Amino acid sequence: MDGSMESPKRTKTKIGRRDVLKGAGMAVAGAAALATPVSEAEAAKKAPRWVMVMDLRKCIGCRACTVACKAENDVSLGRFRTVVQEKTTGTFPNTKKGFLPIMCNHCEGNKKDKVPPCVKVCPEYPGPRKVFKTPDGGKIRYRGGATYKRPDGLVLIDSELCIGCGKCIDGCPYGVRSFNPFVKAGKKPEKMAADKCDMCKERVANGIDPSCVNTCQGRARIFGDLNDPNSEVAKLVKEHDLAKNVLLPEEGTDPHVFYIDPDNMLKDLYTKREKGKLDHYVDLIP
């Protein structure tokens, strides 16, 4: 067969042997269940916590992430699952321009009940009982919904359960959700289902970086498991004290997209959503 790629001989990575797939968080409901053999004694009921760290020093505003996401997820025109906002400040010749990649923050939710705002407003939540299988063989029970949070922290959409009401789109303080004209709401097929970043969950399930991370030239996007103290993201969050370097911390949503921002640009760069609008979430180069 022409060109099938079974086993390339080289990769660019400088670090040694990688233990791929030794525990990408998998929902039982997911497509390809991973059987992950581990010793019984080591088994523990602990899920990963997938997060993204955005290193603003390294984002060059190239938009490869925006387009990679469009292709990976067949995102329709007029909608985005991630965008880069840019802003020019200062007076000539002391002018600055900065770039801010934004996406779903995969919020943990407020302190009281740990339910993200989009999930809270979903009329179909809490829905079916589900089981999350941890990489080490443990099982965690949780509730599904048209919008729900998985034990590994990913906030996901189940279009089969969606009624197309749009409450999650309005209820997200970040405005990173929209209707998908290509997907019908399962429970009300005359309406469109809600849509947003799912952190490329099928890739993640197979040990492959999300598409936006994969193509980021500067390695400004770093993906990983915050629950693993040895992961790059955990180290970065600790080293740069990123817990509060998130968008709209005052909303109490506990976002899990963190920004490395030594020059303190985040506040200047971020364009918030206007109520009821999504104009801030369109990637547009001036």
Partner 1 sequence: MEKLNRRNFMTLAGASGAALAVGVGKSKKALAGSVKFENGGRDFSPVTGKERKAIPTACWQCVTRDSMIGYVEDGRLKKLEGHPGSIRTLGKLCAKGQAGVNQVYFPDRILHPLKRVGKRGEHKWKRISWDEALDLVASKLKPLRDAGTPELFMYQYGRHKASQAATMYDFMAAYGTKTIGNHTSVCEAAKWVGQESLWGGMYDNWDYDKTDYVVNFGSNQFETHTNHIPTSQRLIRAMIDRGVPLYTFDVRLSNTAAKSTEWIPINPGHDGLVMLAMINVIMNEGLFRKDHFKFMRVTPDYHATTDQKIAAIKKEVAKFTPAFAEKRSGVPASKIKEIARGFAKAKSACLVTYRGTVMHYHGADQERAAMLLAAITNNLDTPGGRVMGVGAGWKAPSTPAAKVHKGLHVKDGFKGEAVFPTHHVSHQVGPVIKDGFAGRPKVYWWSCYNPAFINGDNNEWASILKDESIIPFLITSTITYDESSQYADLILPDVTYLERWDWEDMVSANQIAEFYIRQPLIKPLGEARCQGDVWPDLAKRIGFELAWKDKKDFVRQSCEMTPGVKEAGGFDYMMKEGVWHDPNDKGNYGFYAKKVDVSGDGVILDKKTGVYWNWKKAGVKSEAAAKKAGYLGTKGAKKAYVAQNIEGTPLSAYAPNTKFTKSGLLDFYSDNFKDKGLPAFPTYTPTPEHEAMAKDELIMTTYKVAVHSHSRTTHCKWLTEIKHDNPGWINSKTAAERGIKDGDTIKVHNKLGAITTTAYVTEGIVPGVIAISHHFGRQHSGIYGSGKNNPINGGASSDPDAKNMTWKKHGVHPNAIIPNSSDPISGTQRWMDTVVRVAKA
Binders of partner 1 among residues 1 to 30 (CB under 8 A) are: 2-14, 17-25, 30
CB of 77 to partner 1, least distance (A): 4
In the bound state with partner 1, the residue whose beta carbon lies nearer, of 76 and 110, is: 76
Which residue, among 271, 247, 267, has the nearest Cα to 105 in the 3D structure? 247
Span 88-127, contacts to partner 1 by CB under 8 A: 88, 90-93, 95-99
Using DSSP's 3-state secondary structure scheme, residue 153 falls into: coil
In the bound state with partner 1, the residue whose beta carbon lies nearer, of 36 and 110, is: 36
Span 253-282, contacts to partner 1 by CB under 8 A: 282
Confirm if 86 and 59 have CB atoms less than 8 A apart.
Answer: no
175 vs 248: CA distance, rounded Å: 12
Span 125-144, contacts to partner 1 by CB under 8 A: 134-136
- Give Cβ neighbours of residue 108 (< 8 Å, ≥ 6 apart): 114, 116, 149, 153, 253, 254, 255, 256
Beta-carbon count within 10 A of 117 CB: 19
Span 46-75, contacts to partner 1 by CB under 8 A: 46-49, 55, 57-58, 60-64, 66-68, 70-74
Span 151-210, contacts to partner 1 by CB under 8 A: 181-182, 198, 200-209
In the bound state with partner 1, the residue whose beta carbon lies nearer, of 25 and 145, is: 25
Which DSSP symbol is given to 242? G
Which residue, among 205, 225, 224, 221, has the nearest Cα to 213 in the 3D structure? 221
36 binds partner 1 (CB under 8 A): yes
Residues contacting partner 1: total by CB under 8 A: 107
